């Protein structure tokens, strides 16, 4: 999101990173469709003579094909089946999945572009419909509609659209199911380690600043980031650090204790948001609500949250959004997400040339929400999928 320093009226707008999502990054299919819709509306004259909207200012969003290409790369890297001649991709989805149309468009694209089949099962169906081969650890899918005597389907790549929410792990069997997938030789999108790498706590550690001189003012200089970029120049490190919103722990470390002082002060807390280790939107605590919320939960639970500086967006604009069949007009702000595809061979080791097989951008997601809404999640009911307009 674009951020302006509220303490400096003359500061130029900057780009600030909100978060990383490394599991179930959704709406790639819908983002592409919305981009196509807006270009269609332009071509039929729905936008009148708006000078900033033209054939070139509405770029095609390649998110759908980019994400399909990424899953196809995983399928290709898996190679020949070791147990079955029929190989496919498996989508793990939540019970009562509401985002089916977005996911289906990705399945169709994989089939149309690469002739690769994909199947869907819920997270709770893992022990019912899949097995591990006893020697090769191949993940085998047994479609319920097929006779039990028929050959199973070997899974090349598991795409997690579930497994990120506490509701997915309500029993010991749920954890056994996750371990079952992780133990398989199938390529995982993501692995459990990749999922954890996208957690709020890891983001906080990467952006961890040097100790502040006062409880109200923090330095933005990271002491962790250079560890992971040992060959980057100091100038590059500074540029990356500038994209980080300030994030602090709420543990009992010196930095955490000073962050607690801010979080418990009603005036200082107005510039922050409290985030749990959750995905999917709708779980954050904002501004003046933070002190009372912390006081309502046991103190030994505080370390499960991070404290993040609020992003202050400049120059709100008026626009109209369509949600649940209703057109609403008012001030809006946007949040831009960039999809990416990364495939690596962990067994090769990071010192081996070519251990990263694929690493590329894969389109984008623009979410628009009302300026009065603190949350931005689309599925959670706060934002809408949008498309970008390029202007000079």
Annotated binding site for substrate: 103, 367
Taking a C-beta distance cutoff of 8 angstroms, is the pair 62, 130 a contact? no
Residues 6+ apart with CB under 8 A from 338: 361, 363, 364, 365
- 115 closest CA partner among 72, 74, 70: 72
How many whole angstroms separate alpha carbon 19 and alpha carbon 25? 12
Q: Which residues are part of a known binding site for ATP?
A: 200, 275-284, 286, 308-311, 335, 369, 375
Total Cβ atoms within 10 A of residue 317: 10
Side-chain-side CA neighbours of residue 27 (13 Å) = 21
Q: Residue 358 in contact with residue 57, Cβ under 8 Å?
A: no
Name the residue with tokens 């509701």.
167
DSSP secondary structure string, 45-114? TTTTT-TT-STTTS----HHHHHHHHHHHHHHHH-S-SS-S-EEEEEEE-TT-S-HHHHHHHHHHHHHHH
* Residues that constitute the known binding site: 103, 200, 275-284, 286, 308-311, 335, 367, 369, 375
DSSP per-residue letters across 366-387: EEEEETT-S---TTTTSEEEE-
Q: What share of the chain is helix, strand, coil (3-state, %, to 5)?
A: 30, 25, 40
Rg (CA), the chain: 23
Distance CA 141, CA 147 (A): 13
Question: What does the alpha-carbon distance between residue 392 and residue 387 come to, in Å, rounded to a whole number?
Answer: 17
385 CB-near residues (< 8 Å, 6+ apart): 27, 30, 31, 34, 365, 366, 367, 378
* DSSP state at residue 148: T
Which residues line the annotated binding site for Mg(2+)? 279
């Amino acid at each position: 999101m674009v951020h302006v320093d509220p303490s400096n009226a003359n500061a130029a707008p900057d780009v600030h990173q909100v978060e990383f999502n490394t599991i179930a990054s959704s709406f790639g299919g819908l983002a592409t469709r919305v981009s196509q819709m807006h270009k269609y509306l332009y071509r039929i004259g729905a936008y009148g003579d708006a000078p900033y909207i033209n054939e070139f200012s509405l770029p095609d969003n390649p998110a759908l094909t980019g994400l399909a290409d990424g899953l196809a790369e995983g399928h290709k890297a898996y190679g020949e089946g070791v147990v079955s001649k029929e190989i496919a991709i498996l989508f793990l989805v939540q019970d009562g999945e509401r985002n089916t149309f977005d996911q289906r468009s990705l399945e169709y694209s994989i089939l149309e572009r690469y002739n690769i089949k994909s199947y869907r099962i819920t997270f709770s169906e893992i022990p019912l419909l899949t097995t591990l081969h006893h020697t090769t650890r191949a993940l085998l899918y047994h479609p319920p509609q097929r006779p039990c005597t028929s050959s199973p389907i070997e899974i090349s790549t598991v795409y997690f659209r579930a497994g990120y929410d506490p509701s997915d792990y309500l029993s010991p069997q749920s954890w056994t199911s996750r371990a079952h997938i992780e133990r398989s030789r199938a390529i995982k999108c993501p692995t459990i380690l990749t999922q954890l790498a996208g957690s709020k706590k890891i983001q906080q550690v990467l952006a961890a600043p040097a100790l502040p001189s006062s409880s109200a003012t923090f330095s933005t200089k990271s002491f962790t980031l250079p560890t992971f970029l040992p060959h980057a120049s100091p100038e590059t490190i500074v540029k990356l650090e500038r994209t980080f919103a300030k994030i602090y722990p709420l543990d009992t470390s010196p930095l955490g204790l000073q962050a607690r002082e801010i979080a418990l002060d009603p005036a200082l807390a107005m510039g922050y948001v409290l985030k749990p280790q959750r995905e999917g939107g709708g779980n954050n605590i904002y501004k003046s609500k933070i002190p009372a919320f912390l006081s309502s939960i046991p103190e030994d639970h505080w370390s499960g949250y991070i404290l993040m500086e609020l992003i202050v967006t400049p120059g709100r604009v008026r626009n109209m959004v369509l949600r649940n069949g209703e057109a609403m007009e008012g001030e809006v702000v946007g949040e831009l997400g960039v999809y990416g595809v990364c495939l690596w061979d962990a067994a090769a080791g990071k010192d081996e040339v070519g251990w990263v097989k694929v690493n590329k951008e894969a389109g984008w997601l623009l979410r628009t929400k009302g300026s009065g809404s603190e949350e931005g999640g689309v599925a959670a009911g706060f934002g809408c999928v949008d498309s970008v307009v390029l202007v000079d």
